[in-house]
Amino acid sequence: MESRTANMSAVEGAQASTIGGAVAQPHVALPAVARRRHSRVAEWDLLVDASMLVLATVALLAGDAIPGLSADASPWSLAFPAVALASLALFGLYRVRLGTRYLDDLPRILAATALAAMSVTFAQVLFVEAPDAATEMVRAWVLATGLLLAGRGGMALAERRARIHGTAGSPTLIVGAGRVGRLIARRLIDKPEVGLRPLAFVDDDPLPEADLDPEGAKKDAELPMFDTGPELGAIVRELRIEHAIIGFSSSSHEAQLELARRLHDLGVTVSVVPRLFEAMPDRVLPQRTVGLPLVSIFPSTPRGWRMSVKYALDRMLALLAIMVLSPLLIACWLAVLISVGRPVFYPQQRIGVGGRDFEMLKFRTMRAPKPANRSEESVVEEAFNNGLAPGGVEGEDRRTKLGALLRRTGFDELPQLFNVARGEMSIVGPRPEREELVPWFEREVYRYRERHRMKPGITGWAQVHGLRGKTSLADRVEWDNYYIENWSPWLDFKILVLSLGAPFQPNIE
């Protein structure tokens, strides 16, 4: 049943040549017949939320649930759980989605429970005389929100752990074995916490292995290849496929449409990677015009008043952080001085916004190199030829014990707060690269130049996703451009929260 491999058509070759290591979040199409596992996840969300709201109501009726906000609860408190569940549903928290979205759900949970509390308060004031209605609902909102976030967080951690250990996740087909399809498979293999386990490719005319990225081909080599023949139903049943992702292939539009319909009839949910995925930000507006589905896109612009506000806040926060962290900065300074001597800081020329260079500061973490050592430039070139970004330890490991600790905790980056205060960097943004490497990367790496639309950061979207040190350069550039095109204050907040756990996460890709 293994499909034949042949040369890609000219159309697929043209499409594949535009791929620079990026893939958008798939658009999910979910017919009623195909909601088996996904609906169970939504039901668990509903069950956990209902349990937390009932627990909050019991605590309120018991009295003195929150010190300082105690008040006698009225029967109106019994209406709050139902209104809150309706509000959570209104905010889309029980829709079927791929992956876990705990941090994305947090502001919507806050807004939904606040709306529920205001609605019940308004009803009390409208229908009965309730002078303590606002106080009562403040108590209900604080307690219910805290329990909802705790319940959702515990479930997200349990689900993530189960997926990583292979005890949960949807068996998935990858439709299209070209560069995009192979990239999807590689990403899902490397990220089991997403919850989609790729088991096979489906393609009548896959891209020859000689034309594939060696790194990606190696990771997905064990996935079998099938064609779209009449045996597809047996394959779906045998592998217990629950989800399919349609990428680019040489198949015609009609053939792919028919395949999607067949998968739907077999009870498989389907996601589609859009053709212009590289230009697809998170802020989109799907709508129908003259009977056709249109998707309007709204990327963030790195120029404008919102970005000016971000940079101004960066400088203020950097100055505040320097004052608050001054004992830690002094302790690191003294430790480096004792362990490796002067100079304590390691300045390095980096490229910032608009391609302008600046001197980025770090604490020294390495001893001076020996003359006979292999040049770091050759090590960097070798890593780049393998598709990896420079960073980490290049050549001989010259880190001191203190230096290894500083790097693992990220404390070696603390002097960059001074770069932020001077306006050369941002707290969150793409990581800056060395001056001598940038011209090389701009020639060889797809969309690398676009990273310079925004000030570089101490931490970034790529770093919190494990793309630190010698990891895929194309993937790092993709994540950086995603951040620029989808920037928002909330995204910065998410990155700062995730950065707290980043030192304890292993490198990926």
DSSP H helices, 63-132, are 79-90, 102-127
Which sign, positive or negative, has the C-alpha torsion 302, 305, 308, 314?
negative
pLDDT of residue 10: 33
Classify residue 401 by burial, with Cβ atoms within 10 Å: 0-12, 13-18, 19+. exposed
Phi-psi region of 40 (alpha: psi -120 to 50; beta: other; left: phi over 0): alpha
Give 293-345 as a 3 state SS string.
EEEEECCCCCCCHHHHHHHHHHHHHHHHHHHHCHHHHHHHHHHHHHHHCCCCE
pLDDT of residue 410: 85
pLDDT of residue 31: 37
Given a contact cutoff of 8 angstroms between Cβ atoms, the answer to whether 152 and 185 are in contact is no
Q: Residue 457 to residues 148, 157, 175, 309, 420: CA-CA distances in angstroms? A: 33, 28, 37, 15, 8
Q: What is the DSSP letter of 391?
A: -
**Tokens (6 digits) for 383:** 């890593």
- 3-state SS assignment for residue 349: strand
Reference 484, options 316, 275, 281, 304; nearest CA is 281
pLDDT of residue 12: 37
Task: Render each residue's pLDDT in the chain as its tens digit; 509 residues.
Answer: 444 333 333 333 333 333 333 333 344 343 333 344 555 667 888 899 999 999 988 887 776 544 544 445 667 778 889 999 999 999 988 887 777 788 888 999 999 999 999 998 888 888 877 677 788 888 889 999 999 999 999 988 888 888 888 777 889 999 988 888 888 898 898 888 888 999 999 988 887 765 566 555 555 667 888 888 888 889 999 999 999 999 887 788 888 889 999 999 998 989 998 888 877 888 888 888 888 888 888 888 888 888 999 999 999 999 999 999 999 999 999 999 998 888 899 999 999 998 999 999 999 988 776 655 555 566 666 666 666 666 655 556 677 888 888 888 889 999 999 999 999 999 999 999 988 888 888 888 888 999 999 999 999 999 888 887 777 888 899 999 999 999 999 999 999 988 887 554 543 33
Q: What is the DSSP letter of 434?
A: B
Reference 88, options 125, 117, 123; nearest CA is 117
Q: What is the DSSP letter of 74?
A: P
CA distance 280 to 496: 24
Phi-psi region of 421 (alpha: psi -120 to 50; beta: other; left: phi over 0): alpha
CA distance 93 to 224: 36
pLDDT of residue 359: 95
**Tokens (6 digits) for 407:** 């790097």
pLDDT of residue 236: 92
Q: Which residues contact 508 (CB under 8 A, 6 or more apart)?
A: 190, 191, 465, 466, 467, 471
Q: What is the DSSP letter of 250?
A: S
Strands 426-428 and 357-360: unpaired
Give domain limits for the chain: 10-35+169-297, 38-164, 305-504
* Topology of the domain comprising 10-35+169-297: Rossmann fold (3.40.50)
Q: What is the DSSP letter of 472?
A: B
The amino acid at residue 128 is V
pTM listed for this prediction: 0.74
